[in-house]
């Protein structure tokens, strides 16, 4: 977690202003100097459903939005409970809903509008993190033809929640700098063959048997940061199609998982990232966290049965956990963006 807020020492005198109940020692009294470090605050998980009903064929957008603001001037809310610069989190929520009145669009664009608003409207708000989960819906198909009065497929105003994965979007602002990180979570995939694992070192605690054919299964968490050029271009409305970019990266990740003959989940991870960068120019780097969801071949020999790779026990815990970043050579690092991707602590 990085912040533009330089550590700041609290005032060491006014007990009353500190809000500490009477009798509590002030910093000056008792000892070590203490400073405020990185900080941010906002409203989390604003559930927004937007219906576009310009015609009989409705569109639906479903986001869970989180905004968190940063700025040096916010320190006094921490230090002495002075809220003069604290844009209330309730106000942030209201703003999300009000902005949705003008439409949502790609989550990255919607978050950018919010970011521009908060940093523009309040001069002491110098940055923040603006994130969203996008929940997918498809149209219910009500008959074999799927035809509707508009000629499209599926019902005009009846929808069913889509697949298990969730699309994520994050816009991070620090003064004049900004980053856009897209991603997905809970994309669960499995290969029933085409995966080996052998050649690993053996020590006193190693009992794992080598295998040249196993199930490989994981639940992909991926985040990819767009290049500075892409982020810059996106300042022109409509110049970057973040929805299309998302679909392309998702498709590449899936196809690569399927196509790579895997010698290690690490290798699959890297190949997925490499391919995404190779095929989508807008991607600067990709980070993955991928559990190795173990499927253990059940020993059926005690029951007089063989088990040629057919019957598996899918274990919950423990699981392997493979993390890795794949980076386009030459792009500048962006630690402030990645810090904002994960929880504060």
CB of 242 to its own copies, least distance (A): 19
d(CA 41, CA 43): 7
**Of the residues 114, 234, 264, 336, which one makes contact with its own copies according to CB under 8 A:** 264
Please give the structure tokens belonging to residue 57. 């064929």
**Of the residues 71, 100, 242, 246, which one makes contact with its own copies according to CB under 8 A:** 100
d(CA 194, CA 212): 8
Residue 155 annotated as catalytic: no
What is the DSSP pairing of strand 59-70 with strand 137-139?
Answer: unpaired
CB of 269 to its own copies, least distance (A): 7
Residue 48 is a binding residue for its own copies (CB under 8 A)? yes
Quote the Cα angle for 200-201-203, to 5°: 140
**Of the residues 13, 147, 153, 198, which one makes contact with its own copies according to CB under 8 A:** 198
**Of the residues 6, 11, 13, 19, which one makes contact with its own copies according to CB under 8 A:** 19
d(CA 157, CA 139): 8
For the segment 286-345, give every residue that binds its own copies (CB under 8 A): 287-289, 291-292, 295, 298, 300, 302-305, 307-330, 338-339, 341-345
Is 197 within any annotated ligand binding site?
A: yes
Q: Nearest Cα to 332, choosing from 249, 226, 183? A: 226
**Of the residues 6, 12, 13, 24, which one makes contact with its own copies according to CB under 8 A:** 24
Residue 246 is a binding residue for its own copies (CB under 8 A)? no
Stretch that binds its own copies, among 40-48, 169-177, 228-236, 240-248 (CB under 8 A): 40-48
Contact, 228 vs 283, CB < 8 A? Answer: no
Residue 122 is a binding residue for its own copies (CB under 8 A)? yes
Stretch that binds its own copies, among 107-115, 169-177, 228-236, 268-276 (CB under 8 A): 268-276
Residue 35 is a binding residue for its own copies (CB under 8 A)? yes
Residue 223 is a binding residue for its own copies (CB under 8 A)? yes
Neighbours of 214 (CB within 10 A): 22
Q: Which is nearer to its own copies, 147 or 235 (CB)?
A: 147
Q: Nearest Cα to 260, choosing from 193, 183, 165? A: 193
> Using CA atoms in the order 189, 193, 195, 201, what is the torsion angle rounded to 10 degrees?
120
> Using CA atoms in the order 106, 110, 116, 118, what is the torsion angle rounded to 10 degrees?
-160
Residue 120 is a binding residue for its own copies (CB under 8 A)? no
Residue 101 is a binding residue for its own copies (CB under 8 A)? yes
The catalytic residue positions are 43, 89, 294
């Amino acid at each position: 977690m990085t912040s533009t807020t330089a550590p700041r020492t609290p005032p060491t005198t006014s007990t009353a202003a500190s809000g500490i109940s009477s009798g509590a020692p002030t910093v000056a009294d008792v000892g070590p100097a203490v400073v405020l470090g990185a900080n941010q605050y906002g409203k989390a998980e604003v559930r927004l459903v937007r219906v576009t009903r310009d015609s009989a064929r409705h569109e639906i957008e479903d986001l869970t939005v989180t905004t968190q603001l940063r700025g040096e001037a916010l320190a006094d809310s921490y230090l002495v409970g002075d809220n003069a610069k604290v844009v209330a989190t309730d106000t942030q929520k209201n703003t999300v809903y009000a902005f949705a009145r003008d439409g949502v669009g790609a989550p990255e664009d919607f978050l950018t509008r919010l970011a521009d608003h908060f940093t523009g409207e309040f001069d002491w708000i110098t940055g923040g993190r603006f994130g969203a989960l996008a929940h997918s819906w498809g149209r219910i198909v009500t008959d074999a033809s799927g035809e509707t009065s508009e000629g499209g497929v599926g019902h005009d105003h009846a929808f069913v929640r889509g697949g298990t994965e969730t699309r994520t979007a994050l816009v991070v602002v620090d003064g004049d700098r900004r980053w856009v990180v897209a991603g997905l979570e809970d994309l669960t995939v499995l290969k029933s063959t085409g995966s080996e694992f052998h050649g690993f070192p053996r020590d006193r605690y190693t009992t794992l048997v080598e295998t040249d054919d196993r199930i490989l299964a994981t639940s992909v968490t991926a985040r990819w940061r767009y290049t500075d050029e892409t982020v810059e271009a996106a300042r022109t409305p409509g110049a970057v199609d973040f929805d299309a970019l998302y679909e392309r990266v998702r498709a590449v990740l899936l196809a690569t998982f399927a196509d790579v003959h895997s010698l290690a989940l690490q290798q699959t991870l890297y190949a997925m990232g490499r391919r995404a960068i190779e095929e989508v120019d807008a991607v600067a780097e990709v980070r993955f966290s991928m559990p190795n969801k173990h499927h253990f071949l059940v020993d059926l020999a005690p029951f007089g049965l063989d088990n040629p790779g057919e019957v598996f026990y899918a274990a919950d815990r423990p699981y392997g956990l493979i993390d890795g970043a794949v980076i386009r050579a030459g792009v500048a690092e962006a630690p402030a963006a990645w810090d904002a991707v994960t929880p504060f602590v």
